[in-house]
Structure 1
Amino acid sequence: MNGVLNIAAVGLLILVTLVLGYRGSRISRTTSDFFVASRSVPPLGNAAAISGEYLSAGTFLGLAGAVLLVGADGFWFPIGYAAGYLLVLLFVGAPLRRSGAYTIPDFIQARVGSRTARHLTSVVVVVIGWLYIVPQLHGAAITMNVVAGLPLWVGAIVVALVVGGAVAAGGMRAITAVQAFQYWVKLTALLVPVVLLIIVLIGDDVRVDPQLVFPPERGPAGTGLYTTLSLMLALLLGTIGLPHVLVRFYTSPDGGSARRATVLVIVLISAFYAVSSTMGLIARVAAPDLAESGTADTVVLTLPSRLLPGIWGDLVTALVVAGAFAAFLATSSGLVVSLAGVVSQDLFGGTVRSFRLAAMLCALVPLAFSFLTVPDGLVSSVGLVFVFAASSLSPVIVLSVWWRRLTARGAIAGMAVGAALCGGALIASAVITAPGWWTPLLAQPAAWTIPLATAAVVVVSLIDPRGPHPRSARYVARLHQPEV
């Protein structure tokens, strides 16, 4: 019975997703519709859509699992994720909208006047996107395996096909409504179980041991000062380098709307993080054995049936499963639509037909990678994407907005140095198993890769004999010119 309800919940969610996508596809005709929803998305709708795509498998499943495993340590992830939007609000949100670009490579090319810089940006954006999509597919595979006993490949294939088809059919205009709807599904899918589980625990008069929920040896001191600071730096700056987040600002009517949408995003994702973290705390009290069994990422799926009897536990579990699939679909949709715009413009000419072809490619290639990789801790997998984005793309984007002396060679050097150092460190961390002083430096490299990438941008720009592009001063002024 439980498996049937779970599959029915997923089927209903997919049906609503396809209906909303179909309605959006009927009004998606132009290139602007497919790439940036004709720059017509109001702040609240955009905020819900951004929140829908930002709250991924790593958040829906992995955050509660991280809190279950390490207690207070796990709270650094939601703090960094939410605070990252403050930096987006302060430094890049409105200027990116005023740039008039469709994609991040568009923006970089217009800023520095170099097709080489554009192509490198496109490569980095695609790598970040694919690295982010793979954990979503892993999460879908785990979910369908746990709640319905289906093979791991089933959930991944379902998400890839639904996302690729929906994005190809209607582009950004269609996906915006879908992602906004899926945010509210995700919030409801965790809020209802949390409220019911708290009521059950209060009724059972369960005593909460603070030493269990927040062990004194955990928290900032438990992981080491360097690791904590490096992680926070990656999460804060990584948001600025996520292509599916940045492209959303191009859909706002103007810079002011982009700023208002960002403020609303902070409110919406903070509410979700509070609920998701609470689920992890409940698990530490009511089901600590899940941490020992190595299935922490499945805690939100298994906890309701443990504490709620009979059909009520089955119904709540089905709701959680629907929320989990909403997370996989929403984040994957945002990533695929942002990558499709880049691939379409750089490889296929930037037409509506090429966008549709690129959308299917950008969904199917990560699917192949997901079959070749083993699902790991979801929140840590997503955290690695933030590290790579913060090292390779964020310094160039921030300096593009705020530093007039940036040159094309400086931008290229910064992206190349950041990507090479960060990628090399993460690979070395996986290969070198012997512990030593280098272990935290390789596992959390943001504290040194971001400064070195930034230094590469600045130094190469300053010594570049060509200097900034002749239109750079005028273009930067446009980024900061308030709307009238």
Structure 2
Amino acid sequence: MHEPLLVLGSIGLVCAVTIIISVHGLHRSRTTRDFYVASRRVPPWMNASAVAGEYLSAASFLGVAGLIMAYGTHGLWFPVGYTAGFLSLLVFVAAPLRRSGAYTIPDLMSLRFPSKLLRRLTAMIVVFTGWLYIVPQLHGAAIALSSTTGLPAWLGPAIVILVVLPTVVSGGMRSVTLAQAVQYWFKLSALLIPTVFIVLRLGVGDTNFIPDLANAFEVELVNDTQTSTYRTVSLVAALMLGTLGLSHVLVRFYTNPDGGTARRTTVLLLWLLAGFYTLPIILGVVARAVLPELGESASTDTALLQLPTALFDGLTGDLLTALVAGGAFAAFLSTASGLVVSISGVVSQEFFGGTVRGFRVGAILAMVLPIVATFVTTGLALAGAVAMVFTFTASSLAPVVLLAIWWRGLTVTGAVSGMVTGGFMSLAALLAGHLLDDAGMSMAVLQYPALWTIPLVLVVTMLVSSLGSQRPPENTDEVLARLHLPESLKQGTHSS
């Protein structure tokens, strides 16, 4: 069988292109602004492709189809929530974030409040979130490589690390932007081409698949309708607001020239995400019909990798499998690169004075803990692990970022209280839900805590800010005007 060699060739091609782009970025990145925000000159179409490239992670590429394999129509809420998160970002965050002129989320909080405590706490949450998010990417690389080639699983994470670090260290944000944009279109092609082949196969081939496809969504997830409704609403809330707390996503909006282009980037991005998510949904439905035995096991994340050879014999099936595997590695590389850039920027700003050397040291430090965590954990389902990260960010960072942008009455003590409360309560609930063996509403409340942790954080933050002795900074109105007034209006005000 040629499949292992073809898969390795496809993965090697993705890695080679990424490295070539990083070498190109080395010649273009010469200033601190190049490394952190690509000199704030990234046009909307390029930035939208880059954001989609880093956002569509292992959970999106392999995990969505795996969820449909496991849960049928209930798995559709993940792509809906992932995409809706950017609608929230478009409405509430994109333009003000760009107008802030910051490099990182801690920079944004420092602009609003001159507090070292709040800045360090924000930095710690950003780094911790990045670490949590990198682990599923490394697990996904292990799954993709071992299931398609039979090679040891540890080689997958090793490949990701050996490609990501040189890419980030050599050219920073400028290199990563171009690489992620290219990787988005490769990922889209890696799913679109197999989808076209499979649809044609089912349309003109064996019609025995048609009845199975019609019944592909028949699944009994839970008997308790109330519990199922709670899980769905809480999950969507976590995914929608969790996006607002993902530093590696937010930092991309600092690279736009101005607030208007940041909004246009988000609109284009919504179309790119919608187009992409259509494909794993279609393939997940087909996989549920063609590979019913897979839905009864814990390996549903491999559904897309197994589907081509289940429908096509010989070289065609092997080539399509290699294409999907290459696209999966593009997902792992692009998301991991964005996360490392985000963590590196924060580490450099906080501990190395914001220098290029500090950025490169931060890139190395960004991978240390995830590497250890990858080899000592067996890993949840990819989408489930990423959903936990979204729940944490939606509960800790996102509410305070929203209030910092939109509420004048926010104080330092209120922001710190909210972040600590949300981070602690969400992690405690998720850990208890993972360790305890129970069912019903009580377990759903622990496993999907966003529906109660997000309101709790908002209430705590606003109460502490309103009832405490501390007052908002004197320059609050000036900072909020900077965040919300269009650049043209501010220039006109200064000229008059």
Superimposed CA distance per residue, residues 435-481 of structure 1 (whole angstroms, 9 cap, x where no aligned partner): 35420110000011001111111011112322001111110111000
Alpha carbons 2:41, 2:257 under 8 Å: kept: yes
Superimposed CA distance per residue, residues 24-53 of structure 1 (whole angstroms, 9 cap, x where no aligned partner): 121101111101111010000000000000
The one-letter code sitting in structure 1 at the alignment partner of 2:185 is W
The one-letter code sitting in structure 2 at the alignment partner of 1:184 is W
Alpha-carbon distance, 1:162 to partner: 1.2
Superimposed CA distance per residue, residues 10-29 of structure 1 (whole angstroms, 9 cap, x where no aligned partner): 11110000001110121101
Pairing 1:191-206 to 2, within 5 Å after superposition: 191-202=192-203, 203-205=205-207, 206=209
Tell me the residue number matched to 1:131. Answer: 132
Alpha-carbon distance, 1:216 to partner: 6.7
Tell me the residue number matched to 2:216. Answer: 213
User: Structure 1 residue aligned with 2:449, among 425, 441, 445?
Assistant: 445
Tell me the residue number matched to 1:340. Answer: 344
What's the TM-score once normalised by structure 2's chain length?
Answer: 0.95
Tell me the residue number matched to 1:387. Answer: 391
What's the TM-score once normalised by structure 1's chain length?
Answer: 0.98
Alpha-carbon distance, 1:151 to partner: 1.1
SS of corresponding position for 1:213: coil
Tell me the residue number matched to 1:156. Answer: 157
How many angstroms apart in 2 are the aligned matches of 1:289 and 1:199? 24
How many angstroms apart in 2 are the aligned matches of 1:431 and 1:471? 47
Tell me the residue number matched to 1:3. Answer: 4
User: Structure 2 residue aligned with 1:311, among 315, 321, 341?
Assistant: 315
Superimposed CA distance per residue, residues 82-122 of structure 1 (whole angstroms, 9 cap, x where no aligned partner): 01111000000000000010000000111122110000000
Alpha-carbon distance, 1:149 to partner: 1.0
Percentage of identical aligned residues? 50
The one-letter code sitting in structure 2 at the alignment partner of 1:345 is Q
Tell me the residue number matched to 2:46. Answer: 45
Instruction: Tell me whether 1:121 sits opposite 2:94 in the alignment.
Output: no
Gaps of 5+ in 2: 489-496
Tell me the residue number matched to 2:13. Answer: 12
Tell me the residue number matched to 2:230. Answer: 226
Superimposed CA distance per residue, residues 139-180 of structure 1 (whole angstroms, 9 cap, x where no aligned partner): 001111111111111101110221112101110011000000
Tell me the residue number matched to 2:437. Answer: 433
Superimposed CA distance per residue, residues 401-439 of structure 1 (whole angstroms, 9 cap, x where no aligned partner): 100111111111110000000011011112221335420
User: Structure 2 residue aligned with 1:362, among 363, 366, 382?
Assistant: 366
Alpha carbons 2:23, 2:170 under 8 Å: kept: yes
The one-letter code sitting in structure 2 at the alignment partner of 1:191 is L
Pairing 1:17-166 to 2, within 5 Å after superposition: 17-166=18-167
Which stretch of structure 1 is more off in the superposition, 462-471 or 38-47? 462-471
Tell me the residue number matched to 2:171. Answer: 170
SS of corresponding position for 2:360: helix
Instruction: Tell me whether 1:417 sits opposite 2:418 in the alignment.
Output: no
Alpha-carbon distance, 1:311 to partner: 0.5
Alpha-carbon distance, 1:222 to partner: 8.6
SS of corresponding position for 1:151: coil
User: Structure 2 residue aligned with 1:371, among 368, 375, 380?
Assistant: 375
The one-letter code sitting in structure 1 at the alignment partner of 2:206 is D
Alpha carbons 1:165, 1:360 under 8 Å: kept: no
Superimposed CA distance per residue, residues 36-74 of structure 1 (whole angstroms, 9 cap, x where no aligned partner): 111010000000000000000011111001011111001
Alpha-carbon distance, 1:209 to partner: 4.4
Instruction: Tell me whether 1:329 sits opposite 2:317 in the alignment.
Output: no
Tell me the residue number matched to 1:483. Answer: 487
Tell me the residue number matched to 2:298. Answer: 294
How many angstroms apart in 2 are the aligned matches of 1:222 and 1:396? 30
Pairing 1:258-277 to 2, within 5 Å after superposition: 258-277=262-281
Tell me how many residue pairs correspond in the alignment.
Answer: 484
Alpha-carbon distance, 1:204 to partner: 1.1
Distance change in 2, residues 1:208/1:133 (3 Å): same
Tell me the residue number matched to 2:285. Answer: 281
Which stretch of structure 1 is more off in the superposition, 217-226 or 166-175? 217-226
How many angstroms apart in 2 are the aligned matches of 1:393 and 1:269? 24
Superimposed CA distance per residue, residues 200-254 of structure 1 (whole angstroms, 9 cap, x where no aligned partner): 1122113234662222745994961111111111011011111111000000000
How many angstroms apart in 2 are the aligned matches of 1:293 and 1:218? 15
Distance change in 2, residues 1:156/1:462 (3 Å): same
Alpha carbons 1:72, 1:214 under 8 Å: kept: yes
How many angstroms apart in 2 are the aligned matches of 1:238 and 1:36? 22
The one-letter code sitting in structure 2 at the alignment partner of 1:166 is T
User: Structure 2 residue aligned with 1:397, among 392, 401, 407?
Assistant: 401
Distance change in 2, residues 1:210/1:298 (3 Å): closer
